[in-house]
Structure 1
Amino acid sequence: MHMRVAGIELGGTKTLVVAGTEGRIEQRIRFPTTSPHETLAQVSAALREFDAISRIMAVGIASFGPIRVDPRAADYGTILATPKPGWSGADVVGPARIRQDLPINIDTDVNAAALAEHRLGAAQGCANVIYLTIGTGLGGGILVEGIPVHGVLHPEVGHIRTRRAAGDAFAGNCPFHKDCIEGLISGPALAARFGCDPATCGPDDARWVQVARDLAELLAILILTHSPQRIVIGGGVAIGQPAILEQAGRILPDLLAGYLGDFDTARSKATLVLPKLMEDAGPIGAMLLASAGEGCTPVHGKLT
């Protein structure tokens, strides 16, 4: 009999609480991410509701970051310095512990989504996987040999500084770094860059070419540093404007400049894909974290 678990996807704009077995969502409750007090109280209430239907055996949390994911740290499960008002220092694990005996495992939302796409989605059969989300922010989850990458913190792909195109005068809007990649091509950055809601700009708008070039610069860095077999790209911007991915894929081989001799447009197309699980990648990843058990750490290439 499969273990019934719950997953929490805590995003910058919305929160999703789900329950089910073996990566299969059977119940879900969705609500906006507002203040920590209000949002986490709703999380706790949703978990209690699911637990009353049928006992929850473990919880996985896939959270926006930066967040402390080392279970040995005193501030495990705490949101670190974030531009999201009121959330710096918020404890996201405590409100989810609806029973003292309930195991809880936490990781970033993008590491969880990478895990879901690796196990059940567009990156099945790939050992090294990167999941990018481009939406309210830009984040990246990285798996090496199927294991989510941690270290001093966790990957912060969105704050990589990329090479800028000649003549591009946009200053960027990241409150920390201005023109890091998040400050150039996240949803709020595009609104500032375009002077309008980017969702209203059609795929033929010439401004998307520069966005695709910026994305291609990031992709080149990730390919050269992590050698992924698959890069899955989700989030509202990427899914809403799939032409960006196609354009970035055509630009990428030129940026690599023949250094990876067989990386042509065909290989680029095979490497860069949309998520198979779409918006369910995060919550399913959270359920997989729950199934892995509390304090999920790499030991001999396995999640234990």
Structure 2
Amino acid sequence: MYYGALEAGGTKMVCAIGDADKNIIDRISIPTGTPDQSLPAMIDYFKKYDISALGIGTFGPADINPNSPTYGSIMRSPKKDWEGFSLYKAFTDALGCLVVVDTDVNAAAWGEYLYGALKGLNSGMYLTVGTGIGGGIISDGRLIHGMEHPETGHILIPRRTGDDIPCTCRFHQSCVEGLASGPMLERRTGMKGKDIPADSPVWDLEAFYIAEALVNYTMCYSVERIVLGGGVMDNKFLFPMIRNYYTELLSGYIDMPQVKDTDTYIVPAGLEGNQGIIGAMNLF
């Protein structure tokens, strides 16, 4: 018996096969073109293994309500070719197996909860900071859903005095994604995040904005740990900066041992970048 997993990203589609115990035994990566370009290769790959079920963690916004008539469809999206496309229908029709669809960050959070930095906890959050910012939240051992996926990247946060560079979000002028994602770092410096020197003052501002968001997540979701992943967080020097600002901004309001030890409360991802595909493999 084999199982399938798909981590549908903005630049690549990672497809994987799991054995009967859901251990990944094979994977491929396919560029994210249009549905007509990308879908046939993915379907052919999964058909070779005659999988019994497929878990999909997809970029969004996506309809992840199983009771919705458009379940598994990409909603309003910057990737116009995918807008309105139903991953659920396409793979159900082609493979004839159980298909479960959730967001990519929910899949990553689930992977961290089962096998990574959130393992053994009752609650936690995974936040990716990269081209976009988004997060998955686990409470009482289950992923949080609602009307749709919680848009943690678009919470509004106060701007630091003197920061008047226009936000990269086309909807908001002070959301965490628009102020702290990779494109905003590039707008601020004219350089890709990986090329910005570690001593650049932009990192202090980056850490401040991420810390503001994390304080809000702690207040709203009361999670036992926050895991930070994504390309921006490959800059490990950001962690102590974020932790320091987090403690300062929290101002002692929450008197719990977890938040007092920020070294173990705000941590890097624990699955070497595989949390998304591992989580997708375990969505069903």
Give the shorter-chain TM-score range.
over 0.9
* Distance in 2 of aligned mates of 1:113 and 1:198: 22
2:125 is the alignment partner of 1:124: no
Segments of 5+ residues of structure 1 without an aligned counterpart are 293-304
Aligned residues, how many? 282
2:146 is the alignment partner of 1:151: yes
State whether residues 187 and 198 of structure 1, in contact with CA within 8 Å, keep that contact through their aligned partners in structure 2.
Answer: yes
Moved more, 109-118 or 80-89: 80-89
State whether residues 259 and 265 of structure 2, in contact with CA within 8 Å, keep that contact through their aligned partners in structure 1.
Answer: no
Q: Aligned partner of 1:202: which letter?
A: P
Q: Aligned partner of 2:239: which letter?
A: L
State whether residues 231 and 271 of structure 1, in contact with CA within 8 Å, keep that contact through their aligned partners in structure 2.
Answer: yes
State whether residues 17 and 29 of structure 1, in contact with CA within 8 Å, keep that contact through their aligned partners in structure 2.
Answer: yes
Q: Which residue of 1 aligns with 2:186?
A: 191
* Distance in 2 of aligned mates of 1:265 and 1:150: 25
Q: Which residue of 2 aligns with 1:300?
A: none
Relative to 1, partners in 2 of residues 1:263 and 1:84: Cα closer, same or farther, differing over 3 Å? farther
| 1:79 alignment partner, one of 74, 79, 95 | 74
| 1:277 alignment partner, one of 246, 251, 271 | 271
* Distance in 1 of aligned mates of 2:112 and 2:233: 16
Quote how far apart the aligned CAs of 1:85 are.
3.0
Any residues of structure 2 matched to 1:1-304 within 5 Å, and which? 4-21=2-19, 22-49=21-48, 51=49, 55-97=50-92, 98-100=94-96, 102-239=97-234, 241-262=235-256, 267-289=261-283, 292=284
Q: Which residue of 2 aligns with 1:297?
A: none
Determine helix, strand or coil for the equivalent of 1:190.
helix
Segments of 5+ residues of structure 2 without an aligned counterpart are none
* Distance in 2 of aligned mates of 1:119 and 1:262: 24
* Distance in 1 of aligned mates of 2:127 and 2:10: 15
Quote how far apart the aligned CAs of 1:79 are.
0.6
State whether residues 162 and 218 of structure 1, in contact with CA within 8 Å, keep that contact through their aligned partners in structure 2.
Answer: yes
* Distance in 2 of aligned mates of 1:194 and 1:41: 40
Quote how far apart the aligned CAs of 1:117 are.
0.6
Quote how far apart the aligned CAs of 1:276 are.
1.0
* Distance in 2 of aligned mates of 1:267 and 1:164: 26
Q: Percent identity?
A: 36
What CA deviation, in whole Å up to 9, does each residue of 1:251-299 have, x standing for no partner? Answer: 101101111134688511111111111211000111001xx2xxxxxxx
TM-score (norm 2): 0.95
State whether residues 173 and 179 of structure 1, in contact with CA within 8 Å, keep that contact through their aligned partners in structure 2.
Answer: no
Relative to 1, partners in 2 of residues 1:85 and 1:194: Cα closer, same or farther, differing over 3 Å? farther
TM-score (norm 1): 0.89
Q: Which residue of 2 aligns with 1:295?
A: none
Relative to 1, partners in 2 of residues 1:263 and 1:255: Cα closer, same or farther, differing over 3 Å? farther
Relative to 1, partners in 2 of residues 1:24 and 1:78: Cα closer, same or farther, differing over 3 Å? same
